[in-house]
């Protein structure tokens, strides 16, 4: 959702009627995962995707009908359907897609939560009597932020949504209302953007900022040297901190969705940054430099009190061995390794022997 909000906000400002399609369940080989979204307008504007292209046309047609009628639809595409070949899912994959008119109040709540940097969950009725379809609720950790009947009225629903949020896995569950109506509720867990912290405003960091932005990462650049860490060089960074690492890391919330790339070759900057990084929950920590440089760095960090187990988390030399030498190619290699670690791809599959 976070990737679609800028486009959706433009359409809202233009008073466009908007439908939102969400993948709510998948089986087998599906092109996109649960939570993939596509927003659309009746006049043909589209943002995002629910399948990588193979069912978008059918979803668009359903979206136009939803905008006309105001009634959400739950669509199913799969190999067992007579339309399977037509929509391109004959490989065996199946997906359910829920299409609904955009709830602008819920959009406003999501915008606030996305800015908080915390995970949250959105619960939506996707199956049941027409008067309940599309009713939604947003729940953050330990609190309900906003919702609409019947979801907000039942502590059982709130408890289940909170449990799913704590498990960090989007899923559906069944709920019976006090009036005995059975509803299927989809709970989507939405995590904050992943974050890339770059220590050193070197040329590689300029290219790395652009690649990270393309992949949806929030980018942070740290460099106490004004000539390197300047706004002119890093106009596209989300945050620029012109301070020494000891101070800079107190200004950043490092979480398990954070990657850290240390790039200066200067021990006065790199070593304090690595000590802070190795004591953090960041999922990736890498440092630029040759094997010789890494060996010297390792000895300095050990002498500074960093434990062997902590040093084992350090990727160095940084990046996959793609063979490139330009700043842009090195940045690509670094980002490729970050993505591989993010998705828990074994080292044996991404690193050369």
For residue range 280-302, what is the model confidence (pLDDT) as tens digits?
999 999 999 999 999 999 999 99
Average pLDDT over residues 186-209: 94
Instruction: Give 7-16 contacts, CB < 8 A, sequence gap 24+.
Output: 7/39, 7/47, 8/39, 8/47, 8/102, 8/107, 11/39, 11/41, 11/45, 12/102, 12/104, 12/107, 16/41, 16/42, 16/43, 16/45
Confidence of residue 220 (pLDDT cuts 50, 70, 90): very high
- Cα–Cα distance, 203 to 234 (Å, whole number): 10
Cβ–Cβ < 8 Å for 289, 309: no
Q: Could you tell me the strand order of the sheet in which 195-199 lies?
A: 239-241, 218-222, 195-199, 258-262, 284-287, 314-315
Average pLDDT over residues 199-204: 95
Helix (H, G, I), strand (E, B) or coil at 305: coil
- Cα–Cα distance, 258 to 161 (Å, whole number): 26
Joined tokens for residue 61: 């047609």
Q: Which pLDDT belongs to residue 119?
A: 87
Helix (H, G, I), strand (E, B) or coil at 84: helix
Cβ–Cβ < 8 Å for 243, 251: yes
Residue 79 pLDDT > 80: no
Backbone angles phi, psi at 206, to 5 degrees: -60, -50
pTM as predicted: 0.72
Confidence of residue 348 (pLDDT cuts 50, 70, 90): low
Q: Could you tell me the strand order of the sheet in which 73-77 lies?
A: 46-48, 37-41, 18-27, 94-101, 73-77
* Element (DSSP H or E) covering residue 286: strand 284-287
Full set of structural domains in the chain with CATH: 5-101 (no CATH), 104-190 (no CATH), 195-350 (3.40.50.720)
Average pLDDT over residues 154-164: 86
Residue 85 pLDDT > 70: no
Confidence of residue 51 (pLDDT cuts 50, 70, 90): confident
For residue range 298-318, what is the model confidence (pLDDT) as tens digits?
999 999 999 999 999 999 999
Average pLDDT over residues 189-201: 92
Backbone angles phi, psi at 131, to 5 degrees: -70, -15
Cβ–Cβ < 8 Å for 234, 220: no
Output the average pLDDT for the chain. Answer: 87
Q: Which pLDDT belongs to residue 349?
A: 65
Confidence of residue 144 (pLDDT cuts 50, 70, 90): low
Cβ–Cβ < 8 Å for 27, 91: no
Joined tokens for residue 80: 């067992």
Signed CA dihedral, 261, 267, 272, 274: sign only: positive
Which among 299, 294, 317, 245 has a CA at the least distance from the CA of 274?
245
Joined tokens for residue 141: 């950790």
Average pLDDT over residues 307-333: 93
CB atoms within 10 A of CB 112: 13
| Percent of the chain whose pLDDT exceeds 70 | 90
């Amino acid at each position: 959702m976070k990737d679609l909000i800028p486009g959706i906000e433009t359409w809202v400002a233009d008073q466009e009627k908007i439908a939102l399609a969400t993948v709510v369940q998948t089986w087998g080989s599906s092109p996109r995962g649960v939570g993939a979204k596509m927003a659309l307008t009746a006049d043909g504007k589209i943002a995002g995707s629910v399948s990588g292209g193979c069912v978008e046309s059918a979803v668009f047609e359903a979206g136009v009908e939803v905008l006309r009628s105001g009634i959400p639809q739950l669509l199913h595409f799969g190999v067992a359907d007579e339309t399977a070949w037509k929509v391109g899912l004959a490989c065996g994959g199946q997906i359910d897609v829920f299409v609904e008119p955009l709830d602008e109040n819920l959009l406003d709540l999501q915008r606030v939560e996305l800015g908080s940097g915390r995970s949250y969950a959105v619960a939506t009725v996707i199956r049941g009597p027409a008067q309940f379809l599309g009713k939604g609720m947003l729940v953050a950790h330990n609190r309900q932020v906003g919702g609409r009947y019947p979801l907000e009225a039942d502590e059982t629903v709130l408890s289940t949504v909170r449990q799913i949020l704590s498990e960090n896995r989007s899923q559906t569950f069944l709920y019976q209302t006090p009036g005995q109506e059975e509803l299927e509720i989809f709970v989507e867990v939405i995590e904050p953007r992943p974050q890339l912290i770059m220590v050193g405003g070197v040329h590689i960091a300029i290219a790395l900022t652009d690649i990270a932005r393309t992949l949806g990462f929030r980018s942070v650049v740290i460099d106490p040297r004004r000539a390197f860490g300047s706004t002119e060089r890093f106009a596209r960074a989300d945050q620029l901190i012109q301070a020494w690492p000891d101070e800079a890391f107190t200004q950043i919330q490092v979480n398990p969705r954070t990657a850290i790339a240390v790039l200066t070759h200067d021990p006065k900057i790199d070593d304090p940054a690595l000590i802070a990084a190795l004591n953090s929950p960041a999922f990736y920590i890498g440092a630029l430099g040759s094997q010789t440089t890494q060996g010297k760095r390792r000895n300095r960090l050990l002498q500074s009190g960093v434990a062997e187990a902590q040093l084992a988390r350090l990727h160095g030399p940084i990046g996959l061995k793609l063979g490139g030498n330009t700043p842009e190619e090195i940045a690509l290699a670094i980002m490729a390794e970050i993505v591989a670690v993010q998705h828990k791809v074994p080292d044996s599959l991404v690193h050369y022997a």
